[in-house]
Copies of this chain bind each other. A is one copy, B any other.
Amino acid sequence: MAKRVNIGMVGYKFMGRTHSNAYRQVCRFFDCPVEPVMKAVCGRNRAGVTQAAEQLGWESVETNWRKLVARPDIDVIDISTGNNTHAPIAIAAAKAGKHIFCEKPLAMNVAEAKKMVAAVEKAGVKHMINFNYRGVPAVVLAKQMIAEGRLGQIYHWRGTYLQDWIVDPEFPLVWRLEKRLAGAGALGDIGAHSIDLARYLVGEITEVVADMKTFIEKRPKLADAAGGLAAAKRSKAKGRVTVDDAAIFLTRFDNGAMGTFEASRFAPGRRNYNTFEISGSKGSLRFCFEQMNELEYFDNTAPAEVQGFTKILVTDGTVHPYFGAWWPGGHIIGYEHTFVHMVYEFLKALRGRKNPKPDFYDGLRNQIVLEAVEKSAKSRRWVKISIG
């Protein structure tokens, strides 16, 4: 592997912006084993992608992802597109021998995800799925603390990922609300993150029972989304919302822990409320993304008189993950930094032998859980998940 690696990114909207920033910033702060070159960005709309390339700092543009994938000067394909295109792009990229950095969720369904796994396995390329909350220093600290045994045997996982951006019934029918484009609703968009964190921190989920609901079944169609959502003309015609507004589920973990999950876009006041609380025999942890630089820790082995939840400000570069690359303690970082950390992990893996984590296997496993949740919500039964 050369010291420089050329990135070709498909998609340039919200996720394209976060990925671009990560490529731009990572070697300014981290000691990069490989330097990413922002070679080409791809989008169907030439004007749009050209403007994005300039704004975000890409050297060239493509309007057809197949062309991008075919370019010999591209080493890595970054997939920042809508969910329904992840599979074809990833499979083609793998065939072309490109390493892949893919935005979550991996695919539209398990079948697609399996094909993607097969493709990267066959091609022998590196593959990573961007469950970016694994890039939060406080989350990595939680992982380390659990690995060190500070929580003992884990009894409970409580995960909520709550948002409120579609509570207004007049909010229009954007692509995230259409199953054919998004695959799933709150479940796949944000619940997938909760599931990944649970798998990362607690272990494999072996069984689920779920309920899902669409509170607002029809919404104004988007007549024209050019110029951003705020400027979009909304049609008087209404279209059907074909994904879930909220999903709640109970789980069992292979290590005996019990889990509760809630993913909802109908929780006023919760803007990006990705939280977890883990209870173990020796201690507990609580995290909320809206205060992402903090981790709350209860040490059940501490002297009783001073026990309590400790709010750790996870910003001490001498002991906390990733922070040494940034600022002195107490000078907090934000959302976009999680992407920088994920890209840093990806770059390290490009130089090493091991695949980065989380990878397409994690993406597939996540998809299996998502599908089990949906199946349970429909069948109204517990659904077992083979973790063979």
Contact = CB atoms under 8 A, between A and B. Distances in A.
Interface of A: 14, 18, 20-21, 24-25, 28, 55-57, 141, 145, 155-156, 158, 160, 162-165, 167, 209-211, 213, 215, 230, 246, 248-250, 252, 256, 258-260, 262, 264, 266-273, 277, 279-284, 289-294, 297-300, 303-313, 315-316, 318-320, 326-337, 380-382
Contacts of A56: 28
Contacts of A145: 306
Contacts of A258: 211, 213, 246, 248
A255 to B, nearest CB: 12
A276 to B, nearest CB: 13
A264 B311 contact: no
Nearest to A297: B306
B304 A272 contact: no
Contacts of A313: 271, 290, 308
24 contacts: A145-B306, A155-B246, A155-B267, A156-B246, A156-B266, A163-B330, A267-B277, A268-B284, A268-B298, A271-B313, A271-B329, A272-B328, A289-B330, A289-B332, A291-B291, A299-B306, A304-B316, A305-B319, A306-B312, A307-B310, A307-B316, A308-B310, A326-B336, A327-B336
* Stoichiometry, copies per complex: 4
Nearest to A380: B382
Interface core residue of A18, A165, A310 (most chain B CB under 10 Å): A310
Nearest to A296: B308
Contact of A318 (B259, B291, B304): B304
A207 to B, nearest CB: 9
